[in-house]
Amino acid sequence: MTSSTGKMTRAQRLAMPLAREVVRDLAVEHGACIRPIQLRRTNRDTEEVDTVLVPCGNTLAAVCPACAERAKTLRVVRRTPLDVDE
C-alpha cells in the first residue's frame, strides 16, 4: 500500500475513512450521542475545573439517533398512567 519511500499516495489517503466518521460510526453502533455538548464544571471548594460531555437531547433521528430514541422512550413512559386501578 505504501510506496518505496514509505509514504502513502494521495489516492490512498483519500480512500481512508476520516477519524470523525469512524468516531461517529462507533457512537451510533454503541448507542451513544453523536453530538454531545461539552460543559465546563467548576468545583467551588477546590476551584478545580472539569469538562463534562452531556447528550445533545435532539429529538430528530436524522440528527442524533441515540438521543431521538431516548426521547421517544421517555415520551411513551410519560404517557402511561402510573396509578391504574383495575
What is the tens place of the pLDDT at every residue in 29-80?
898 999 999 999 999 999 999 999 999 999 999 999 999 999 999 988 888 7
The residue that leads in pLDDT, 82 or 65, is 65
Could you tell me the residue ranges of all domains in the chain? Answer: 14-79
Q: Which residues contact 43 (CB under 8 A, 6 or more apart)?
A: 49, 50
Helices 65-79 and 19-30 sit at what angle, rounded to 10 degrees?
20
* Confidence band, pLDDT 50/70/90 cuts, at residue 2: low
